[in-house]
Chains A and B, each alone.
Chain A
């Protein structure tokens, strides 16, 4: 059974960098079959895809200038770094596995981590 677990500071000061890790168990992040994804949900709002990593990285254009997603294969983890944060970056951050059916191109996110709340405040 694949499980993902986010970790990192729950409070970040404005203008600093938000750094989160996602530890994966039950699957190898080296697997070419999957991508590894970050999604966030601002308080009381919907879901926003941040970006993912597999062979390379893809980012949401709205965040691309501030985001880096990377892999740490030694720890079977992937990470999110979001720089120059503001209060608008306060959200629950989820990591998830991206699954793609290569015969059709269909893709989806499953499973998801439980999420971690990051508050941006001085």
Chain B
């Protein structure tokens, strides 16, 4: 299975801050990388697909980037509703696997 790692596992940030989360794949996965946001007690919500494509309805302060096997999710100007856990997912090879998550909380 392709292993996905995320860093950091958690971070504290202030409103308006710029936040970057990194996801690394254990092998090449091209652009087969998605990002989800999950709030406590809620289902995950798709933010970014194919590494850098913004899902319809998702604010433009979210963006994704790819460099080899490293992927980043950036949130510019953190808003109150952005405090959540973020997961990356690879769909390059079965079984699809998720990263362990990065929790963003209020500083």
Contact = CB atoms under 8 A, between A and B. Distances in A.
Interface of A: 46-49, 58, 60-62, 94, 101, 104-115
Interface residues of B, number: 24
Given A46-B101, A49-B96, A61-B95, A106 B32 contact: yes
A49 B93 CA distance: 12
A108 B46 contact: yes
B50 interface: yes
Interface of B: 1, 31-32, 34, 36, 42-46, 49-50, 55, 87, 89, 91, 94-101
A113 B44 CA distance: 9
Nearest to A95: B43
Given A46-B87, A47-B87, A49-B98, A106 B31 contact: yes
Nearest to B6: A46
A40 B39 CA distance: 16
